[in-house]
Amino acid sequence: MTDLQSDISAAKDEIESLRKLLNRYNYEYYVLDSPTITDIEFDNLLKRLDDLEKKYPQFYDSSSPTQRVGGEINKEFKQVTHRYPMLSLSNTYSREEISEFVKRADEALGVKNLQWVCELKYDGLAVSLLYEHGRLVRAATRGNGTVGDDITDNIKTIRSIPLTLQNDDYPERFEIRGEVIYPHKAFEEFNRKRIENGEEAFANPRNAASGSLKLQNPKEVAKRKLDCYLYYLIGDDIKQTTHTERLQAAKRWGFKTEQYYKVADSIDGIMEFIDYWDKQRDNLPYATDGIVIKLNEIQYWNILGATAKSPRWATAFKFKAEQACSKLISTEYQVGRTGIVTPVANFEPVWLGGTWVKRATLNNEAWMQKLNLCHNDTLVIEKGGEIIPKIVECRHDEDLEKSHNLQRVEFVRNCPVCGAELVKEADQSGWYCPNYNHCSPQILGRFQHFISKKAMNIESLGGEKMRYLLNAGKVTDFASLYNLTTSVIVGNYQTEDGKKLSIQDKGALNIINAVEKSRQVPFERVLYALGIRYIGEVSAKTLARHFENIDNLRVAGIDDLINVEDIGLTTAQSIYNYFRNEENLAQIEKLKAAGLQFEVVKQQTDNILQGKSFVVSGTFTKFSREGIKKAIEDNGGKNVSSISKKTDFLIAGDKMGPEKRKKAQAFDIPIITEDDFINMIN
């Protein structure tokens, strides 16, 4: 054996050893909650593995611990058909109906004292994971029960889900189903960051978990710190004959399974479990909205079968949403970045869902009218499985009602901050303040939006620091950010409520460097950063490419704007109005003078790829993946996320998955290399 062969063999052994070691440490940390090494030690081992895999790409493995956050941006989730339908459980709030369900099973099977497994019902998103030869090969949502969305890349980011299994007694092919959840601590932390960045908080963990799994970028999903509990094994070759044995086997293979289940052999045992968790569920680190009751013996599942929608061997008892009553104290109105005014009810503090609650959103004027909110009302507040409380009912003061002296709480008609008369558009549910440039919460919100990651990405200047600098008069408009110096920034700051912040030389220098770096942000993101009402990331990119520079966009009429793809009348009117405001135009001229990018920089002047669509997969040496996609668009081509018969080319880089190659070959789509692409555009 040559020295080179010996090095390669040693590298292969070390790579395999590191993968096994890291998988074990990952299992101990995220599943057993009992880490045996520090985070720094884990990160160092992961870095070593990543370096080896890059040096020896022939040992690439999609199930490696380094591949948890490596999926491509997915603009269209591929649909997959479930081999076994994903049925929904029937559910009830009635204990009597649970008793009847158990009796029906007894009578149908002719067996007394059947064993029932009682489990917590997680309030999350149902998923099905397919494993072959001990490796995760696909993850899908329930969808309509027959067809779901392929979310494999996003599921890989959840650390408690194993990419490769432990031990060796698992079937060659099986599915395991469970629920992706957003733990309370991680949910609250993520919401806090959103609020600091001037973004709207998510209403509840379930919706946030569901929305996270449909994000296009797996790297963004990884930031959400989701978790997953698995509770249902299904396949042709599973040896275990009871549900509890299957739960134990799944845990042995590396899955995070239901830990609070109980086996009951009577109605009384089931009710005891329900009673216990109805009181204790607020102490859990995640949301649960009921109890699932399943027959333990698998053989009985097949005998009882299922209806078109639900199995006859399992059902769910739903907890009633926890409610509390409190006296309305006052109604206040908050103004957001875009001027939308949101009513909020302040009421006497009440203990609900494990926390003291004293305020809740009233959403908008229509919701207030639906509740028939009046002064001196008693509010019925509900939390259920949600973190953020909501008002579900208003009970009027009986004496006032009898004397016909009830006074409805009327939505304000002037901005509660600046006093401007509010405006409501015909197709919108909310009122907003039009005093765009002189309403303080709108100004703060726009600054926080301007510096955010997806806009100008001024990293060292977070939402809170921005608040302090703005309150202290250090900045007056977006352009003034580009005139800041370290001597101006350094100082001790304090807000009206007594909060303090100190920025010293190093912190000030970091801010200056981040501001300087932002001058290179491309036009489409600068346009998004301006905060024009109804202009999101996608529409900003569309407008930038269509008009090519800010001056062309500035003079565009309503008809010109409507003719742009995906720009409707409301958005067109908003853009048109923005550029009719002299203060906005002056702001843009200042930003131009500061060196920001207000035109599309084209590397090619012709449209040699016009009408051609490309799928880009793998890693490249001369381009980053985003760089090669930009080159496609600069030359008139179109990027698509998945291969279809309409795809013109597949650009194949290193570590491209075999499935893409197979699909391209099946459709007879040309597969080209990075160099082929360069020759094509040159």
DSSP-assigned states of every residue in 234-280: E-TT----BHHHHHHHHHHHT--B-SS-EEESSHHHHHHHHHHHHHH
Q: CA-CA distance, 347 to 377, in Å (whole number)?
A: 10
Q: Which residue among the candidates 112, 121, 402, 622 is catalytic per the annotation?
A: 121
Question: Comparing C-alpha atoms, which of 262, 301, 264 is closest to residue 109?
Answer: 301
Instruction: Give the CA count within 13 Å in the CB-facing half-sphere of 446.
Output: 25
**3-state DSSP call for residue 377?**
coil
Q: At what angle do helices 3-30 and 39-55 cross, to 10 degrees?
A: 150
Catalytic status, residue 663? no
**3-state DSSP call for residue 310?**
coil
H helical segments located in 31-94: 39-55
H helical segments located in 56-203: 95-109, 152-155, 184-196
Q: Write a three-state SS string for 88-120.
A: CCCEECCHHHHHHHHHHHHHHHCCCCCCEEEEE
**Cβ burial, residue 35 (10 Å; 0-12/13-18/19+):** middle
- Residue 570 and residue 539 in contact, taking contact as beta carbons nearer than 8 Å: no
Residue pointed to by tokens 């909650």: 33
Please state, as a whole number, how many other Cβ atoms lie within 10 Å of the Cβ of residue 606: 10
Q: CA-CA distance, 285 to 186, in Å (whole number)?
A: 10
Q: CA-CA distance, 483 to 94, in Å (whole number)?
A: 66
Range 421-428, long-range pairs (CB < 8 A, 24+ positions): 422/341, 425/570, 427/570
Pair type for strands 323-335 and 378-382: antiparallel
**Cβ burial, residue 165 (10 Å; 0-12/13-18/19+):** buried
> Which H helix or E strand runs over 233?
strand 227-234
- Residue 137 and residue 319 in contact, taking contact as beta carbons nearer than 8 Å: no
For the sheet with 341-352, list strands across it. Answer: 355-361, 341-352, 323-335, 378-382, 390-395
Catalytic residues: 121
